[in-house]
Amino acid sequence: MQFFLRNSDFTGLNVTIPYKKDVMPFLDEVDDLARRLGSVNTIVKRSDGTLYGDNTDIDGFTWLLERNGGIEKGQKALVLGSGGASLTVQAVLEKKGAECVVVSRNGENNYVNYHKHADATLLVNASPVGMYPNNVECLIDLSLLPNLKCVVRYGVGVDNVDIPAATRHGVAVCNVPDYSVHEVAAHAFAMMLALTRKLKLMEYINILKEI
């Protein structure tokens, strides 16, 4: 990984699971929020060859959540997975005052006892379950979560949740591909523009420091 990052010809790249945590030691500088989250999804190679890491996932998930009704303070959300994507989801939900419960294979809250949180109103799949080659793997029975109002498939394992069952139970299902290409592209461009401006400002500050 270090050889690739240092020797490949790129200006910027996106980082996906399972590397969002692993890349951090190889970066020269990491945004403060990304460091606190322990997760990087965007790397920019500066003109001097140094690598800068940031996390735009937090903006992306906030947008996705708000476009689908959001969550009220005090409501419970189940987050499937405990990796880098999950950390971002947890940060957004906790900022909104939601009670966040992480479900993982080996955690205190797992795929055997998740139904004890039947009062959850939001379910977010931030796990790799349902990804290739186990595309049909499904570990959640929505009939055990009768208070769900929305299921968010956060760009990872899409089949962890039985989507037809969600529809039958009247639960809204949202996913980035559910939106038009123009809608998603416009939001992504806005985030990239903001990141570019931030990096330019940081470069100017560094120049001033050297004067």
Count CB atoms within 10 A of the CB of residue 189: 10
Catalytic status, residue 20: yes
Q: Is the peptide bond before 133 cis (omega within 30 degrees of 0)?
A: yes
Is residue 27 within 8 Å of residue 59, measured between CB atoms?
A: no
For residue 164, the 8-state DSSP code is: H
Alpha carbons 40 and 187: distance in angstroms, whole number: 19
Instruction: Given the residues 20, 21, 45, 200, select the one marked as catalytic.
Output: 20
Count CB atoms within 10 A of the CB of residue 74: 8
Phi then psi for 84, rounded to 5 degrees? -60, -45
Q: How distant, in Å, are the alpha carbons of 49, 180, 191, 198 from that of 186? A: 29, 10, 9, 18
Query: Which distant-in-sequence residues (6+ apart) come within 8 Å of 89 by Cβ?
Result: 61, 79, 124, 126, 154
Alpha carbons 71 and 150: distance in angstroms, whole number: 9
Alpha carbons 115 and 126: distance in angstroms, whole number: 18
Instruction: Assign 198 to helix, strand or coil.
Output: helix
Residues catalogued as catalytic? 20
